[in-house]
Structure 1
Amino acid sequence: MTGTAPPSVPALYETEVAHTRVTPFHYALRHRTYMWLIDLDHPPVLPPPLRPLARFDPSDHFDGDAPTLRAGLDACLAAHGVADAGGRVLMLAHARVLGHVFNPLTLYWCHDRAGRPVRVVAEVHNTYGGRHTYLLHPDERGRAETAKEFYVSPFLDVEGTYRMRLPLPDDRLDLTVQLRRADGSRPLTATVRGTHRPARTSTLLAAALRHPWPTAAVSLGIRRHGIRLYLKGLRPRPRTAPQEGTP
């Protein structure tokens, strides 16, 4: 993984999320929202009037029973046998807004105590309430590969390999996740592109005005596009993989 220094945190990223499906027909969607990049050991504490706009609750991540976000991550790493990620961790996620949160993908860039990047944890949630984590060891360009192990889209089987590009954010956020199958096809590519903004009161209020109740909008958007795909002829695939828990 690259050792590029991250921007100051907490930070906001005004993002565009895009999904492109190429089989059995071409279908693309784009959605604008905003996400947070925070230091896992020092989550932002907002003024009381703004707290409904951003809360980072340990119950929303991992097994949901850890006292802190860091404790949840440490338990996940320990379950994978990782002992060298005791340094700083940067987390990219949606905050809980107005009592609601949904994070299709949360990323944790983990460093050792000397500040070297050592692992990335990708935490995936689906709309059925399931959670799953992937432990990744990206190369110096932020590229990693892992087998698909978790049911996400109801229209795709739990098979194939994810190829990811997950560089540590700086002034720009630039992520790619592509599903590849054994036959060489690439049925789905997802990207997240964004621009860094300091997490000031003014920038948070501006983002909240542009994207009111953003996590609910993500959940509703997923269901709306699912209906469209169903009407185009796609049918749900059986859920054959574990639906929750970490790892």
Structure 2
Amino acid sequence: MNGSAALYRTRIRHVRTEPVHNAFGYRSYSWFIDLDALPRLPWWLRPFAGFRAEDHLEPGGGRTLRGRVDAVLAAHGIDLQGGRVTALMNARVLGYVFNPLSLFWCHDSTGDLRCVLAEVHNTYGGRHCYLVRTDRSGCAVTDKRFYVSPFNEVDGVYAMRLAEPAEGLDIRVVLHRDGRAPFAATMRGRRRPATTANVVCALLAAPLAPLTVAARIRVQGIRLWARGVPIAPRPTTDQKETAQ
């Protein structure tokens, strides 16, 4: 297997503070990969860890993940000149994938980080890519532009901590609106090399992880609806595959 790939066994937590308090957490795992050196898995593991370009970003970028990243960057006047792009994401498991948040760290040919692509997927099949420029601590702020939850309007500002993971992973996204923070999500974990044994252990610890994550989000939505939380109208124009 390619030695540059890694796994993060993660703890993910969502906290909503209004109009009702609701918090839940779960364990999962994410892949950290180099887009120019995708993992090469044993044949019997391939159905449980697939990476496809069509699961991310703009179709016009081509048939590779790297090509799609470069196409998004080119639209913003950014040329990495062959620099490295790393990504944190969920893989396809038995043909199914769901990435609530995929992250791409885009470095230029000198190794400097130029920007981060933060791609959000909702459970309706929509996706939206935010291009952000982080500070030295990995923090950035961007306007919310995508309908993620039926219980949150498409307004407010995201404060993100998107530091590229090393031995530890610590991602944080907080929605701010009118001086309040009605929603926050965190993802933390420790790095493990993507050896065959570690991949198998992750699969056993969180079987069918993408399907389980999508199911958990839907269950929480049903609980919020049952508690009388009003549903925000879904925009009539589906916001797919755009970058801001």
Counterpart CA distance in 2 for 1:165 and 1:48 is 36
Match in the other structure for 2:85: 89
RMSD, matched Cα: 1.2
Match in the other structure for 1:48: 43
Measured against aligned partners, the alpha-carbon deviations of 1:51-76 in whole angstroms (never above 9, x if no partner) come to 01101000111124521000011111
Q: Is residue 150–residue 242 contact of structure 1 (8 Å, CA) maintained in 2?
A: no
**Normalised TM-score (structure 1):** 0.94
Letter in 2 for 1:202: A
Q: Is residue 34–residue 85 contact of structure 2 (8 Å, CA) maintained in 1?
A: yes
Match in the other structure for 2:16: 21
**Normalised TM-score (structure 2):** 0.95
Match in the other structure for 2:52: 57
Measured against aligned partners, the alpha-carbon deviations of 1:133-161 in whole angstroms (never above 9, x if no partner) come to 00010000000000000000110000000
Once the two structures are TM-superposed, the CA of residue 164 in structure 1 deviates from its matched residue by 0.4
1:98 lines up with 2:94 in the alignment: yes
Q: Is residue 33–residue 214 contact of structure 1 (8 Å, CA) maintained in 2?
A: yes
Structure 2 stretches lacking a partner, 5+ long: none
Alignment of structure 1 residues 140-155 onto 2, 5 Å = 140-155=136-151
Once the two structures are TM-superposed, the CA of residue 234 in structure 1 deviates from its matched residue by 1.1
Counterpart CA distance in 2 for 1:246 and 1:84 is 20
Counterpart CA distance in 1 for 2:87 and 2:146 is 21
Secondary structure at 1:43 match in 2: coil
Letter in 2 for 1:204: V
Q: Of residues 116, 123, 126 in structure 2, which corresponds to 1:120?
A: 116
Match in the other structure for 2:169: 173
Secondary structure at 1:110 match in 2: strand
Number of equivalent positions: 239
Letter in 2 for 1:53: F
Match in the other structure for 2:25: 30
Counterpart CA distance in 2 for 1:31 and 1:85 is 39
Identity fraction in percent: 50
Counterpart CA distance in 2 for 1:231 and 1:239 is 19
Once the two structures are TM-superposed, the CA of residue 31 in structure 1 deviates from its matched residue by 1.3
Match in the other structure for 1:68: 64
Secondary structure at 1:33 match in 2: strand
